[in-house]
Amino acid sequence: MYQGSKLPRGDSPVSVIGAGIAGAWQALLFAQAGHCVTLHERSDQAMMLSTSHWAGGMLAPYCEAEASEPVISRLGLRALDLWRQELPDTPFNGSLVVAHSRDRTDFERFARLTSGHQRLDASALAELEPSLEGRFRDALFFAGEGHVEPRRVLPKLHERIVAAGGTIKFNSELRASDRDGIEGIVIDCRGLCARDEQPELRGVKGELILIETSEVQLARPVRLIHPRWPLYVIPREDNLFMLGATSIEAEDTGVSVRSALELLGAAYAVHPAFAEARIVEFGSGLRPAFPDNLPRIAIDENRFAVNGLYRHGFLLAPALAELTLAYVQHGRIDNEVMQCA
Ligand SMILES: Cc1cc2nc3c(=O)[nH]c(=O)nc-3n(C[C@H](O)[C@H](O)[C@H](O)COP(=O)(O)OP(=O)(O)OC[C@H]3O[C@@H](n4cnc5c(N)ncnc54)[C@H](O)[C@@H]3O)c2cc1C
């Protein structure tokens, strides 16, 4: 569908509000397309006020199909290409899914509900991940998946925005009156803070633990089938591992003893050597979600609001940026994601 006269001018300046993963990708693609881009972020460069700071960073469109609508896999698969294109050193080592024998039924269910995997027996698993030798009788290997380290990849994206001619203003919190006064295209990527204009947004708490050990080496995320949450261990640089993540309908940012026990228990189940690991950090983030847990690009002439990335922000952000740009450049509308006022 073409929106004719309502389309913003193709050469308009672009202000993006929020430099989390959604805003970073929007700013990058618009800057590369030749727009004069300014990205405003209320945090400093450490990005501690963003949900993105706390994320796992898995790029897992196949695994996520187990509990998500098909639109997540569709956009996620496109986003993998954009990650590869933009940051070619993104690790695409795949991901593994394993289970305790008591969770066998759920493991088989996971296999049925997902595609893009091959089944590994114990020896093939040991060949792929030597640290897991003798730990599980089989595993699902999703070879096409990747992962990024959010606290390293956000600064990389910010650098690329500047290299493409964009400007980033940290410690720049824009109030409603500031936003109203901006000329040109405005792309609101404020995550949960956008509730003043999108009151149906809610936060879904995800707790995580960072641990450090040199006793276990993993080259890819390992998901452990769990009756309540998809628990996983993600390898990071410097012998760090992220244990994540709970999914709780709550908006406090504490970490409960129960969650900590479950996360640490999952790590121990993946490899007992994790018991000797050093705990580096407990943390939690609030995933911005709409009631249907699906992402949305709301369009009102030259005002865009990109939000509701829920537990798929790293997976989806590149594809959502590409959609916003395609609308501005060609008036193209993706009916599953875009809503015009
Ligand atoms: C524990 C956990 C694990 C996760 N794991 C994964 C995963 O493995 N893969 C995946 O794809 N997703 C994952 N997610 C989900 C992902 O983190 C979110 O979907 C994503 O971070 C949302 O990004 P965002 O840019 O919309 O919001 P945010 O990251 O919150 O960014 C919004 C930014 O806007 C800024 N801001 C707000 N108001 C203003 C203002 N007025 N002026 C200027 N700036 C403002 C904020 O400071 C913030 O930096 C996980 C989330 C959690 C909590």
pLDDT digits (tens, 9 = 90+) for 171-189: 999 998 898 899 999 999 9
Residue 298 lies in a domain: yes
Reported as type and span, the H/E element at residue 319 is helix 313-330
Pocket test residue of 26, 287, 296, 306 for ligand 1, highest count of atoms within 8 A of CB: 287
> Is residue 3's pLDDT more than 70?
no
Least-confidence region, from 103-107, 226-230, 249-253, 288-292: 226-230
Closest ligand 1 atom to 208 CA: 1
Q: Is residue 321 part of a domain?
A: yes
Q: How many CB atoms are closer than 10 A to CB 175?
A: 8
Looking at the structure, tell me whether residues 220 and 122 fall in a common domain: yes
Task: Please report whether residue 76 resides in a domain.
Answer: no
- Residues 191, 274, single domain; the answer is no
Mean pLDDT, the chain, whole residue set: 95
* Residue 341 confidence class, pLDDT cut points 50, 70, 90: confident
Residue 216 in domain: yes
Residue 10 has pLDDT above 90, yes or no: no
pLDDT of residue 36 exceeding 60? yes
Task: State the distance from the centre of ligand 1 to the C-alpha of 126, rounded, in angstroms.
Answer: 35
Give the residue-averaged pLDDT of 243-252: 94
Instruction: Compute the average pLDDT of residues 196-219.
Output: 97
**Looking at the predicted structure, is the pLDDT value of residue 4 above 80?**
no
The whole-number average pLDDT for the span 144-156 is 97
Q: Please indicate whether residue 7 or residue 73 has the higher confidence score (pLDDT).
A: 73
Do 312 and 334 have their domain in common?
Answer: yes
Q: Are residues 208 and 330 in the same domain?
A: no
What pLDDT was estimated at residue 261? 95
Q: Is residue 81 part of a domain?
A: no
pLDDT of residue 42: 98
Q: Which residue's alpha carbon is nearest to atom 13 within ligand 1?
A: 311
Rounded mean pLDDT, 118-131: 97
Residue 156 predicted with pLDDT over 60:
yes
Confidence of residue 105 (pLDDT cuts 50, 70, 90): very high
Separation of CA 251 and ligand 1 centre (Å): 14
Q: How far does the centroid of ligand 1 lie from the alpha carbon of residue 23, in Å?
A: 9
User: For residue 132, how far is its CA from the centre of ligand 1 (angstroms)?
Assistant: 32
The candidate with the shortest Cα–Cα distance to 222, out of 137, 334, 47, 95, is 95
Identify the pLDDT of residue 37: 97
- The phi, psi pair for 307, rounded to 5°, reads -160, 180
Give, for ligand 1, the residue of 82, 251, 314, 337 to mutate: max count of ligand atoms closer than 8 Å to Cβ.
Answer: 314
Which of left, alpha, beta for 293 (phi over 0: left; psi -120 to 50: alpha)?
left
- Write down the pLDDT at residue 268: 92
Of 270, 318, 288, the residue nearest 54 (C-alpha): 288
Cα–Cα distance for residue pair 58/107, rounded to 1 Å: 19
Residue 229, pLDDT score:
72
Q: Which of 271, 289, 307 is the last residue of a domain?
A: 289
**Residue 278 and residue 235 share a domain:** yes
Residue 136's domain comprises 95-143+202-289
Tell me, what's the pLDDT at 236?
Answer: 97
CB under 8 Å to 88, separation ≥6 — which residues? none
Considering the domain boundaries, does residue 172 fall inside one? yes
Residues 172, 190, single domain; the answer is yes
In which band, very low, low, confident or very high, does the pLDDT at 1 lie, cut at 50, 70 and 90? Answer: very low
119-128, 171-180, 292-301, 311-320: lowest mean pLDDT where? 171-180
pTM comes to 0.96
Domain check: are 195 and 206 in the same one?
no
- In CATH, what number is assigned to the domain containing residue 298? 3.50.50.60
Distance CA 147, CA 169 (A): 27
* 92 three-class SS: coil
Is there a single domain that holds both residue 114 and residue 219? Answer: yes
**Which alpha helices (DSSP H) does 65-205 contain, by range?**
70-86, 104-113, 122-128, 150-163, 176-180
Q: Which pLDDT score is estimated for 201?
A: 98
| Predicted pLDDT at 5 | 43
How many structural domains comprise the chain?
2
What is the CA(163)–ligand 1 centre distance, in A? 23
Give the pLDDT of residue 251: 93
CATH number of the domain encompassing residue 135: 3.30.9.10
Query: What is the rounded average pLDDT of the residues 191-209?
Result: 97
Q: Are residues 210 and 114 part of one domain?
A: yes
Pocket of ligand 1 (CB under 6 A): 17-23, 40-43, 47, 49-52, 54-58, 172-174, 189-191, 193, 206, 208, 244-245, 285, 287-288, 309-315
Q: DSSP H helical segments within 129-272, as ranges?
A: 150-163, 176-180, 257-270
- The reply to whether 210 and 173 lie within a common domain is no
Of all residues in the chain, the percent with pLDDT exceeding 90 is: 91
Closest by CA position to 20, among listed 155, 147, 182, 186: 155
Once rounded to an integer, what is the mean pLDDT over residues 78-105? 95
For residue 288, the CA-to-ligand 1 centroid distance in Å is 7
161 and 126 assigned to the same domain: no
User: Ligand 1 atom closest to Cα of 49?
Assistant: 47
- 124 and 223 share one domain: yes
What's residue 154's pLDDT? 98
Torsion of CA 58, 59, 64, 65, to 10 degrees: -170
Supply the pLDDT for residue 230: 75
| pLDDT at residue number 59 | 98
Section 218-233 average pLDDT: 89
**72 within some domain:** no
Residue 83 within a domain: no
Average pLDDT over residues 8-36: 94
**52 CA to centre of ligand 1 in angstroms:** 4
Task: Check whether 2 has a pLDDT greater than 70.
Answer: no
Number of the ligand 1 atom closest to the C-alpha atom of 24: 25
pLDDT score of 100: 86
